[in-house]
Amino acid sequence: NAGVTQTPKFRVLKTGQSMTLLCAQDMNHEYMYWYRQDPGMGLRLIHYSVGEGTTAKGEVPDGYNVSRLKKQNFLLGLESAAPSQTSVYFCASSYRAGFSSYEQYFGPGTRLTVT
Amino acid sequence: ELKVEQNPLFLSMQEGKNYTIYCNYSTTSDRLYWYRQDPGKSLESLFVLLSNGAVKQEGRLMASLDTKARLSTLHITAAVHDLSATYFCAVDGVTSGSRLTFGEGTQLTVNP
């Protein structure tokens, strides 16, 4: 199993450009998440999904959109990139069986720079 | 709003010494997670603590959970250089569903 994969690994955008980050998981997990990580701020949740066809806002959703058309994929879109969106983006997935945990499994990350 | 605070945020220690990282959280939860992140890498799950009094150990790391105090600790015994990394705790509150709230992370440096 590949686990959680992210495409691309690195990207440089100019202000105002758009792009889509792709997250894919092969573990049949119901839940998927997009985070951004900035120095000194830990991980902040952008959007998440509790199942195919569903999405919800997290802590910092402004400037981002998401879609989950297939269970294994979760897309993060930036419609008009801004320098404040320079960050490392992590995708994660999880499942819950019975009363067990929501342990999340993380992808390798995408380093995005907006100039 | 669920808040998760880690202490200290930066820790520099000598090899062979012991130390503890603390994770406090602000709301009811009996599930706490510890992750490790090496520089430039992703997050790797270390421990999942699912009930009050839970204790888990892996090598030189031991994690515990006290849900009444809303406190988890990550204890490092006889530190070695390979433990140098950033350690995050995360909590899912009773109203959070599947979402985790992460602490800021503790950057640990173990010096020879």
Say yes or no for a CB contact (<8 Å) between B48 and A103: yes
| Three-state secondary structure readout of A34-45 | EEEECCCCCEEE
Say yes or no for a CB contact (<8 Å) between A101 and B99: no
pLDDT of residue A80: 96
Say yes or no for a CB contact (<8 Å) between B31 and A102: yes
Q: Please list, residue by residue across B2-35, b when 16 or more beta carbons sit within 10 angstroms of its beta carbon and e when fewer do.
A: bebebeeeebebeeeeebebebbbeeebbbbbbb
Say yes or no for a CB contact (<8 Å) between B41 and A108: yes
Spell out which residues of chain A touch residue B92, defining contact as CB-CB under 8 Å: 101-102
Residues 6+ apart with CB under 8 A from A98: none
Question: How sure is the predictor about A26, in pLDDT bands with cuts at 50, 70 and 90?
Answer: very high
pLDDT of residue A2: 81
Nearest to B100 among A41, A102, A109 (CB): A102
pLDDT of residue A113: 97
User: Helices (H), strands (E): how many in chain B?
Assistant: 0, 11
pLDDT of residue A100: 66
Say yes or no for a CB contact (<8 Å) between B103 and A42: yes
Say yes or no for a CB contact (<8 Å) between A103 and B45: yes
- Asked if the C-beta of B103 comes within 8 angstroms of chain A's C-beta atoms, the answer is yes
Spell out which residues of chain B touch residue A10, defining contact as CB-CB under 8 Å: none
Q: Residue A57 CA to chain centroid, in angstroms?
A: 12
Helix (H) or strand (E) holding A94: strand A87-94
Per cent of chain A over pLDDT 70 is: 97
Say yes or no for a CB contact (<8 Å) between A107 and B92: no
pLDDT of residue A107: 98
Nearest to B88 among A42, A92, A108 (CB): A42
Average pLDDT, chain A: 93
Spell out which residues of chain B touch residue A100, defining contact as CB-CB under 8 Å: 50
Q: Minimal Cα–Cα distance from B98 to chain A, Å? A: 6
Q: Which residue has the tokens 């992140």?
A: B37
First vs last C-alpha separation in chain B? 41
Contact B74, B48 (CB under 8 A): no
Interface of A with B in 36-65 (CB under 8 A): 40-45, 48, 50, 58
Q: What tens digit of pLDDT does each residue of A56-111 get? A: 999 999 999 999 999 999 999 999 999 999 999 999 999 876 666 788 999 999 99
Mean pLDDT per block of 10 residues along chain B (112 residues) reads: 93 95 90 94 94 92 95 97 96 79 95 90
pLDDT of residue A39: 84
